[in-house]
Structure 1
Amino acid sequence: MSADAAARADLGPELRAIVERGSSTAALGEARENGRRVWRDAAGVTDLDSRRPARADGRFRIGSVTKTFVSTVVLQLVDEGKLRLDEPVERYLPGVVPNGGAITLRQLLNHTSGLYDYLQDPRFLYQDEASLRAFLAQGRWTTWSPAELIDAGVKGTPYFPPGQGWHYSNTNYILIGEVIRKVTGRNWQSEVDRRIVRPLHLDETTFPGARPGIPGPHAHGYVQLPEGPADVTLINPSFGDAAGNGISTTADLNRFHAALFGGRLLSAARLAEMTTAVPAPMIGAHYGLGLIRYDLPCGEVWGHTGGIPGYNTVWLGSKDGARQFSLSFNLSEGAETEDTFTTLNAFIEKASCGPGTAAAKEAATNSPFRLLR
């Protein structure tokens, strides 16, 4: 183990702090260096009733980390000559997107299309206590089709003309999922499974469509109501589709990161395009094609973050594929405190920079991280 790996290896105190002071019921983490696991641990409980300890090998919803799987498939199709990034979405999905002739696949992938984020539509998820209660009672069981999600997105007022700004929009990736279907004749889940999950033996990674359960061991997710936490583990995740439908483990995510940045999934030219990032001021970072670049005082890290009711994910590593770490934490949404993000930042800075350095302390104090849904 390198000195840097040894310095980062014991993330246990930071992981436990996410639970003890950070308003999470469980936290799972793993770090790898040069293909070897250097640390894995879990803190907290599987559920608030049984209080059984959380398992480090547990599965969890990965939210927007799904986007990187989907983007990788698109870039593989570009490598195969079946797609072109600078072709308009109108070519592949005629009549679906207003002004679709001016919006390219690249702009969908890097969130410069200007399209409205369908998750901001009040029919999806929740914005206040009343809509949260309605979501828990009925909304969480609703099955949404990609066409319905796209319709909500394209009917919203665009944020800006195509290519004239940056705004995170889940609508972009629902469209990308439908482009994959149009070009391959199979849905995006099948293509991700065929091209990434099976070749890399990511045996605990699934894309459940409308199925509400999480297979295998997992910690429960919660949202906060005035009377206490409400269990939101069971949920129909079809509202996430190609923008956020996935389930995985820390081990599988780290293997995916190592394979992607190690050049096993894309040509060097496509990986270079994937990591060509534009400023993303609303998240304090830069965004490539399904990848986020965070510039820390100790250097840059690449990956994605994700959030879906009950579950949050941080998945990052070095651009050379030598180091990666994954973190899942079950933040009880609505119970956040000032310590919530202090503890999260402490974990991320130590995993990225190592402990005790000036760069690490600056990263902890001025972390740019914003979790994306």
Structure 2
Amino acid sequence: MKRLVGITALALIVAPLQAQAAPNELQRGLDDVVRTAGVGAQVEVHDRKSVWRGRSGLAEVGTTRAVPLDGHFRIGSITKTFLATVVLQLVAEKRLRLDDPVAKWFPEIDGVTVRQLLNHTSGLYDVLYTLPRPPQPEFYANRWRTWTADELIQRALANPPTGEPGEKYKYSNTNYLLLGEIVEKVTGRSYARQIERRIIRRLDLEHTSLPGTTPQLPEPHAHAYVPNPDRTLLDYTEMNPSLFGAAGEMISTTHDLDRFMTALLSGRLLPPYLLKQMKTPGTKDGHYGLGLAWRDTTCGMRAYGNDGDALAYQSWSFTTADLRHRVSLVLTPNFTSDSDDVVDPFLDKAFCAQKP
């Protein structure tokens, strides 16, 4: 994932706060994550026999409040795994096909298939690179703006493709904005309604939602920040999430993400042949299938899931195929360094510490 890093540096030291009885090695690792790259962090780690819910850092700058263990947060691109699951359910119902041309619904898009949208081999320009980012003044002016899917898609299509369809993997949020629209055209209901009906209600994910244009998060939640031009942090907890749309608008908790990934990888949501395709890379030696990514640990485990960047919240949720080892984590970054550089070793430690 390409993070927002190095735009400003904050002269703030956040002292990690101990949460509860915890594996010392994991708590130290989580403290290191926050000390290096964050304001606060929350994690849920499962192994064969136990679960640890840990936290470190602050829920809000300028206070001593600990990060809530059951806090809500914006999950960013983990939304894509939910949406991909719905698309594949429609494939199972024979309401669309993976090799359907996108031109069936968007005539101006030539040669791209539904499969290529799902696995990011469409070559379509990423709308992200058409949008202002901190510290550009327009970024802050757009905080409460409502974006439509068509507006975002057209911004992307105004740019030339980055490659031929199917040629290479190139992550693009435009792909999932299009998939959200295709779901509505196929079913007559919005992608949000379909995710709610087919996944959230089915799995009783009581703390997972699609906010649409609602700027607030449910309580409890940690506050989250983006960099100001003056080298401080701006509280960006509340913002209009239509900016993310079908590519990343959802809100959840570490516990609900764990339940979703467990249900998905156990085969509760998709037939085996489609779950297998979901785990099949779109390119040789790739690590991204149909809305599902994977990472290989230093101890030989492969974990499936996804990560997300919703500007002020960064999240990761992965599980091994046998469901015995699972980690879901959220970080509120401080943008002094690339969070992946410190989170990746923590995830590796969390999985490998559980290996018998």
Please give the TM-score of this superposition, normalised by the length of structure 2. Answer: 0.88
Partners in 1 of 2:265 and 2:23 — Cα distance? 20
Flag the 1:280–1:343 CA change in 2: closer, same or farther, 3 A.
Answer: farther
Show the counterpart of 2:127.
118
Q: How many residues in Structure 1 have an aligned counterpart in Structure 2? A: 333
Show the counterpart of 2:218.
215
The answer as to whether partners of 1:174 and 1:241 remain within 8 angstroms in 2 is yes
The answer as to whether partners of 1:9 and 1:39 remain within 8 angstroms in 2 is no
Partners in 2 of 1:266 and 1:316 — Cα distance? 18
Give 1:8 shift. Answer: 7.6
Give 1:219 shift. Answer: 0.7
1:185-224 maps to which residues of 2 (within 5 A)?
185-224=188-227
* 1:255 counterpart = 2:256: no
Show the counterpart of 2:31.
16
Show the counterpart of 1:276.
280
Show the counterpart of 1:306.
308
Q: What does the per-residue CA deviation read over 1:164-202, in whole Å, with 9 as the maximum and x for residues that have no partner?
A: 111000000000001100111110011000000011111
The answer as to whether partners of 2:102 and 2:109 remain within 8 angstroms in 1 is no
Flag the 1:178–1:24 CA change in 2: closer, same or farther, 3 A.
Answer: same
Partners in 2 of 1:87 and 1:276 — Cα distance? 18
Question: Which structure is higher in helix share?
Answer: 1
Partners in 2 of 1:16 and 1:89 — Cα distance? 46
* 1:170 counterpart = 2:181: no
Give 1:49 shift. Answer: 2.9
Partners in 1 of 2:297 and 2:164 — Cα distance? 31
Partners in 1 of 2:296 and 2:303 — Cα distance? 7
* 1:348 counterpart = 2:347: yes
Give 1:146 shift. Answer: 0.5
Show the counterpart of 1:38.
51
Q: What does the per-residue CA deviation read over 1:239-297, in whole Å, with 9 as the maximum and x for residues that have no partner?
A: 1111000110000000001100001000001101111113488xxx5110001122333
Partners in 2 of 1:125 and 1:74 — Cα distance? 30
The answer as to whether partners of 1:72 and 1:266 remain within 8 angstroms in 2 is yes
Question: Cα RMSD (Å) of the superposition?
Answer: 2.1
Equivalent position amino acid for 1:47 in 2: E
Show the counterpart of 1:295.
296
Give 1:229 shift. Answer: 1.2
Flag the 1:43–1:148 CA change in 2: closer, same or farther, 3 A.
Answer: same
The answer as to whether partners of 1:8 and 1:354 remain within 8 angstroms in 2 is no
* Matched residue SS, 2:121: coil
Give 1:23 shift. Answer: 2.7
Partners in 2 of 1:263 and 1:37 — Cα distance? 22
* Matched residue SS, 1:29: strand
Flag the 1:194–1:10 CA change in 2: closer, same or farther, 3 A.
Answer: farther
Question: Which structure is higher in strand share?
Answer: 1
Q: Percent identity?
A: 40
Partners in 2 of 1:14 and 1:235 — Cα distance? 31
The answer as to whether partners of 1:8 and 1:351 remain within 8 angstroms in 2 is no
Q: What does the per-residue CA deviation read over 1:305-347, in whole Å, with 9 as the maximum and x for residues that have no partner?
A: 11011110011111233321100000023x227xx54532331
Show the counterpart of 1:78.
91
* 1:236 counterpart = 2:240: yes
* Matched residue SS, 1:26: strand
* 1:69 counterpart = 2:82: yes
Give 1:50 shift. Answer: 2.8
Partners in 1 of 2:314 and 2:56 — Cα distance? 15
Give 1:227 shift. Answer: 3.7
- Of stretches 108-117 and 207-216 in structure 1, the one that deviates more from structure 2 is 207-216
1:47-66 maps to which residues of 2 (within 5 A)?
47-66=60-79
* Matched residue SS, 2:321: coil
Flag the 1:233–1:187 CA change in 2: closer, same or farther, 3 A.
Answer: same
Partners in 2 of 1:235 and 1:106 — Cα distance? 32
Show the counterpart of 1:134.
138
Flag the 1:238–1:280 CA change in 2: closer, same or farther, 3 A.
Answer: farther
